[in-house]
Structure 1
Amino acid sequence: MATYTYRCAVDGTVDVRLPIGTAPSALDCPDCGTPAARVFTAPRLGLADRRRMAVLDHTESSRSAPPVVTSLPAAAARRAPAPRLDPRTARLPRP
């Protein structure tokens, strides 16, 4: 089921839940019965978690103009941090 928004001249916006793909371009307002036209709105992506929204924003921003690297990063930034050794394996022989 999807939520579709319709605009009624008397009651304002009205949300109606219908099966996907079955929403007509206009229907009678459930409250007053006057004709209400369908309003196309953005999907409610703001309700998603922050990590998912960050990935969507990054993907959208890099789709048409990916960032261009003009120089190598500083040596400290390129060096990977040393792995943290597990104390249980500290006494094992190392190559």
Structure 2
Amino acid sequence: MPTYLFSCTVCGAFDLIRPMSESGAPAECPSCARPARRVLAAPALRSLPTGLRSALDAQHRSADLPDVVTSPPPRTGRVQRRVTDPRQLRLPRP
């Protein structure tokens, strides 16, 4: 369920967790029971998984200043061979 931010004129801001179907319903302050108005705020994206959050941050950073590659990456030293049939691994090597 989403968390909504409300503001009481006496006590200040507080959060309420309620279903989306009740997002427009009036709320009472939990401290003084006076009516409170809903405050529009940015969504809470902190609950995203770490990998997704870092990917979104990298995408945002590279939108204006993408990394420019000037040369190919260095070779790792070992060449990967593709084997389509596992029996080929048992063949003698030169």
The TM-score, its normalising length taken from structure 1, stands at: 0.61
SS of match in other structure, 2:16: strand
Of 79, 84, 93 in structure 1, the residue corresponding to residue 75 of structure 2 is 79
Aligned to 1:5: 5
Query: Equivalent residue for 1:88?
Result: none
CA contact (8 A) 1:26 1:36 kept: yes
Q: Structure 1 regions of 5+ residues with no counterpart?
A: 85-90
- Residue 92 of structure 1 corresponds to 90
Report the counterpart of residue 22 of structure 2 in structure 1: 22
- Please, what TM-score do these two structures have when normalized by structure 2? 0.62
C-alpha distance 29-83 of structure 1, shift in aligned 2 (>3 A)? farther
CA–CA distance in structure 2, aligned partners of residues 16 and 7 of structure 1: 11
Aligned-CA RMSD value: 3.3
Partner of 2:83: none
| Alignment coverage as a number of residue pairs | 87
SS in 2 for 1:5: strand
Structure 2: distance between partners of 1:83 and 1:70: 23
The amino acid across from 1:34 in the alignment is R
Flag the 1:68–1:10 CA change in 2: closer, same or farther, 3 A: same
Stretches of 4+ aligned residues off by more than 3 angstroms: none
Structure 1 partner of 2:38: 38
